[in-house]
Amino acid sequence: MENLFADPMAGSLPELNRSAGLAQLDMFLSKAGSTYAKGRNFDLGPGRHHMVSRLSGHLRRRLVIEEEVISAVLSRHSFSSAEKFITEIYWRTYFKGWLEMRPSVWKQWLLDCAQLPRTAALARACSGQTGLDCFDAWADELKSSGYLHNHARMWFASIWIFTLGLPWQQGAEFFMTYLRDGDPASNTLGWRWVAGLQTRGKAYAARADNIDQFTRGRFFPDGQLNEQVYAVDGPESPAAQPINFPIKAIHKKNGKPYLLLLTSEDGHPESLSLAHSPVGVVSLPVLFSNHFWPDEGDWMRAVELDQAEQMALTDIAERTKTYFGLQQTDMISIGEDCSAARLVNDTQLVEQAAEQLSSLCRQYKVSDLVTAYLPVGFWSSHFERLQVHPLLKDMHWHLVMRDFDRQSWPSATKGFFPFKSKIPGWLNKS
């Protein structure tokens, strides 16, 4: 009989670069079928997450892309065997599309976080000093490793909201402060789902017996949790608005020179549909990734995440240089480094980036700027401000959208299960 819990110390997280992501994918492939389906809900503790792929940080930044992961899995397993894992990949896609059609949900979360008071109860929860062993252990694991098992994230969020009585918005903020795979869509909407706002009226209850079972007895908070949960108050989700897709064929006019802008939102520019090579590649400031509430400057994520993000962006830039055959001098990083810029507010950071980017456009004699499509989130918010900046407003901006997103996002109009029903057709497995 298969031992699902063998190899207990094989759960360390890989470095955030493409080579490490591909190596991790290769290690996981044999488990992506029935083994994953049987063991994926077990949280065995820090350093023991070997029943899940540990690819989330790479998928979040597209250091590895969804299509290649799914293709690799289906080369080893049937669709029916690997459906659980493939579905998890598409959950991320679904959340992206859902938020893309309802950007006001993201903006409201930002406003709520800026306005909610910082209470003593909030401080105790964030410091892992609530007296609930399981919750405090997960808070410590999150802060020390930048990761939590998905099942633990749901338990944690439920306890945060329904047992501790804290606002879900601040819980989502806490996760984004530390999660190395923190994604604006998945994180925000995942917390809304637990709170009973995403699937209207259906809140998620963390139960002591469920925690006992799926932590294999590490925790059993019997009698300590509020298991009679009701959806929190909140407005109805806004109606879905059509996505303003960029045109597919971009930048083919007379082979015009352009600068390619890199972000950690899409870490595989080699597979973007570009008509020809750029004359230069520009790494946008890593601090655009999720730092500041608009002009507030009172919230920043863990410095360890800045460092990891910078390493990922460096990897992206080096691969891009090699792929397009560029000189080192044509690789430019703009913006402050992680340590120096942490006291720079949002407006100052955008201003500095605009000045540097404008100077580069003059240097390279270009008026065209190209980047991978930026979904709703921190990167897109900063990018929108760059586009209308007086120094850059006359530039021609081109956003390149992947076919994977173009195909799937428009189906995220309702709940996940109507979306899920289309997956076999997208993969030609119907």
User: Which domains does the chain possess?
Assistant: 18-100 (1.25.40.80), 112-214 (1.10.579.10), 259-400 (3.40.50)
Q: What is the pLDDT of residue 3?
A: 54
Q: What is the pLDDT of residue 2?
A: 46
194/345: higher pLDDT: 194
Q: What is the pLDDT of residue 1?
A: 37
Residue type at 79 in one-letter notation: F
135/2: higher pLDDT: 135
Q: What is the pLDDT of residue 297?
A: 43
Residue 241, token pair as written in the block: 């608005």
The string of DSSP codes covering 217-283 is: TS---TTTS--S--PPP-PPPPPP----PPPSS-S-STT---EEEE-TT---GGGS--SS--SEEEE
Mean pLDDT across 102-111: 94
- CA dist 171 → 104, 113, 136 (Å): 19, 10, 14
Q: What is the pLDDT of residue 159?
A: 98
Reply yes or no on whether the pLDDT at 408 is more than 70: yes
Reply yes or no on whether the pLDDT at 21 is more than 50: yes
Q: What is the pLDDT of residue 7?
A: 47
Mean pLDDT across 288-308: 66
Q: What is the pLDDT of residue 347?
A: 80
Q: Where residue 337 falls among pLDDT bands split at 50, 70, 90?
A: low
Q: Are 2 and 36 in contact (CB under 8 A)?
A: no
Reply yes or no on whether the pLDDT at 138 is more than 60: yes
Q: Where residue 171 falls among pLDDT bands split at 50, 70, 90?
A: very high
Reply yes or no on whether the pLDDT at 6 is more than 60: no
